[in-house]
């Protein structure tokens, strides 16, 4: 493993739609090892250069050996659901060295506690993925990847941009060098916690946006949702120790706009199908990939003792988990007023 190798090799862990998209983006600048669990997936990628409905760049080679990916690649991109993140880190940790760099692309939070309707969480019981990396491994140089990055559009090579956030400028520079291309811009930020929370929290706003579409509401209602949703997310982030800065960039308002306006967003589709009368278990099975906003709702609600205002999260929780009729929930939200516009900046 040589970080000065003229032909770099990057590692991606996770073969969901976003992991596939990131692997193809990285392949424009170097060779890529993509970790998959399934032998069938490994064979399909390495022989046919396809996976699911996606075409894989020929520079992407699949492996199901975590030791191989750690030995061959010093820059790793773990991109998999938050529920699987701890297990993956525990399997990967024995093969990692302090020289490794991990930039994750998981827009979720983790808590070891079982979340029930009565549970209350402390901030110390909720972890971002970058915090899990530093806790579970010996790696110090970590970062995250967040922004308006709908995987299906990236697969079509449409123009897009993302943010790499880290406390280490060298991590940002490595990520930019690995990912940037003529069709994909990569910005940097030192607001690691803020960027992670922005990428996570916007998921439940996207669920609400899908509900609006399902009920036949128009763009005025969606603009109201996005704007007031942004205020709510910033109040939560400040209570958890982040600033509003990350929420005013690509990882915040940029990602929020993309996921709240596109049926390509899994969380948006969850809301749409809930409005159509489908049950949550049925929706999750039909989507086939994790919609992180469903779990995020539970965590946000369980953290509310920190005093932030989250009426949208509270109503959505009642709709998703307590069978509150959606129209009743929206009627309640329309009666909820704020004294000032953009008060999260003024406070």
The residues annotated as belonging to the active site are 202
Torsion 151-155-159-165 (CA) sign: positive
Please state, in angstroms and as integers, the Cα–Cα distance from residue 186 to each residue in 64, 160, 161, 181, 242, following that order. Answer: 29, 9, 6, 9, 22
DSSP code of 127? Answer: B
**By the 8 A CB rule, do 320 and 207 touch?**
yes
For residue 114, what are the contacts with CB-CB under 8 A and spacing of at least 6? Answer: none
DSSP code of 181? Answer: B
Which residues face 10 on adjacent strands?
Answer: 32, 75
Which residues face 164 on adjacent strands?
Answer: 145, 188
**By the 8 A CB rule, do 11 and 73 touch?**
yes
């Amino acid at each position: 493993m040589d970080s000065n190798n003229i032909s770099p090799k990057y590692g991606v862990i996770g073969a969901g739609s976003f992991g596939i998209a990131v692997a193809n983006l990285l392949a424009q600048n170097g060779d890529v090892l993509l970790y998959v669990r399934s032998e069938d997936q490994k064979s399909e990628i390495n022989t046919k250069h396809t996976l699911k409905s996606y075409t894989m760049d020929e520079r992407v080679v699949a492996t199901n050996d975590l030791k191989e990916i750690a030995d061959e690649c010093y820059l790793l991109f773990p991109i998999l659901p938050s529920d699987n993140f701890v297990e993956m880190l525990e399997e990967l940790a024995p093969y990692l060295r302090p020289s490794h760099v991990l930039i994750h692309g998981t827009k979720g939070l983790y808590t070891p506690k079982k979340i029930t309707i009565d549970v209350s969480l402390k901030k110390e019981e909720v972890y971002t993925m970058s915090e899990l990396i530093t806790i579970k491994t010996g790696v110090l140089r970590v970062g995250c990847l967040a922004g308006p990055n709908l995987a299906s559009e990236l697969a079509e090579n449409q123009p897009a941009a993302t943010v790499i956030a880290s406390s280490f400028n060298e991590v940002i520079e490595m990520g930019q060098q690995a990912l940037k291309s003529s069709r994909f811009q990569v910005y940097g930020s030192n607001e690691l916690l803020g960027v992670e929370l922005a990428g996570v929290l916007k998921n439940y706003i996207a669920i609400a946006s899908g509900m609006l579409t399902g009920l036949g509401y128009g763009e005025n209602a969606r603009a109201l949702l996005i704007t007031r949703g942004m205020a709510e997310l910033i109040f939560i982030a400040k209570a958890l120790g982040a600033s509003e800065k990350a929420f005013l960039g690509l990882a915040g308002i940029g990602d929020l706009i993309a996921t709240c306006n596109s049926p390509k967003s899994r969380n948006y589709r969850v809301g749409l199908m809930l409005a159509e009368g489908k049950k949550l278990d049925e929706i999750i099975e039909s989507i086939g990939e994790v919609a992180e906003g469903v779990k995020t709702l539970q965590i946000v609600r369980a953290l509310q003792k920190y005093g932030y205002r989250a009426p949208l999260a509270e109503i959505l929780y009642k709709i998703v988990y307590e069978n509150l009729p959606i129209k009743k929930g929206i009627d309640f939200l329309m009666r909820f007023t704020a004294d000032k516009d953009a008060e999260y900046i003024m406070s």
